[in-house]
Amino acid sequence: MVLTFPGTVIHELAHLFAAEILRVPTGKLTLVPENIRETHIKSGSVAIAETDPFRRYAIGLAPLFTGVVAISAISYLLSLSMNHELITILYFYLLFAVSNSMFSSPEDLKGFIPFTLVLGLFVAAGYMLGIRFELTGEVLEVVTRTLTTLTNSLTMVLLVNLGLLIASWGLTRLVRSILPSLFPPKKPS
């Protein structure tokens, strides 16, 4: 939990601020683990009142958008200070913490089906009515630059997580080979 704490803070505050902006009453904010099961850890939460599916889904998706913005900002700052080792390590840690906390949980995705159906109907209706959007000039340049930065940021996040996965795998194999009595072979059922 310590490894992802900055990401948990950003995740839960994104829910809280989105709910407040959408005028949905909020309650208790928790930033420490409160429900630990064998395969699932609830690392934080914010109580949100019942609301319509559209606002519920917008609140649920807030950490994804906030995480993308945070990852882009961290990547930009990282590109400015790659020659300072400690700052570079801090940025990679923040990339790891934020990227692993930005995705929506099943609880966050309540309202997904009604939201998606209505959005799909609006897009289909607009398309059939001939409504098209084109980006040109400076707007196209800004969107292209933003998407390029985001692609680079998410690639960096993928590489950080891949490196940590390989390191974890190697460490697990090393520990199992050194201390085989702690990890007896599984018996077939």
**5 is written with which tokens?**
């704490």
Taking the C-alpha atoms of residue 164 and residue 174, their distance in angstroms, rounded to an integer, is: 15
**180 located within any domain:** no
Considering the domain boundaries, does residue 140 fall inside one? no
Q: Is residue 151 part of a domain?
A: no
β-partners of residue 36 are 41
Rounded Cα distance between 155 and 158, Å, is 5
* Residue given tokens 């085989």 in the structure block: 180
Predicted pLDDT at 17: 93
89 within domain boundaries: yes
pLDDT for the residue 29:
87
* Residue 156 is assigned to a structural domain of this protein: no
What is the pLDDT at residue 19? 93
- CA proximity to 96, closest of 44, 168, 15: 168
Terminal C-alpha separation, the chain: 34
> What is the β-pairing status of strands 41-42 and 26-30?
unpaired
C-alpha span between 72 and 49 (Å, rounded): 31
Q: In this structure, what token pair is assigned to residue 185?
A: 């072979």
Strands (E), the chain: 26-30, 35-36, 41-42, 45-48
pLDDT, position 37: 61
Q: Report residues of the chain scoring pLDDT below 70.
A: 1, 34-41, 81-82, 181-189
Express each pLDDT in 37-56 by its tens digit. 656 667 788 888 988 888 88
| Nearest CA among 58, 40, 37, 47 for reference residue 12 | 47
Instruction: Work out how many domains the chain is built from and give that number.
Output: 1
**Is the pTM here over 0.85, yes or no?**
no
Q: Does residue 11 sit within a domain?
A: yes
Residue 76 Rama label (left phi>0; alpha psi -120 to 50; beta): alpha
**Is residue 144 a part of any domain in this protein?**
no
Report residue 113 as tokens. Answer: 């089906």
For residue 162, the one-letter residue type is L
For the record, the structure tokens of 186 come out as: 């599984």
The counts of H helices and E strands in the chain are: 5, 4
Backbone angles phi, psi at 41, to 5 degrees: -125, 125
Supply 16's token pair: 């809280």
Q: Is residue 150 part of a domain?
A: no
pLDDT of residue 170: 93
Residue type, 10: I
Q: In terms of residue numbers, what domain contains 76?
A: 5-132
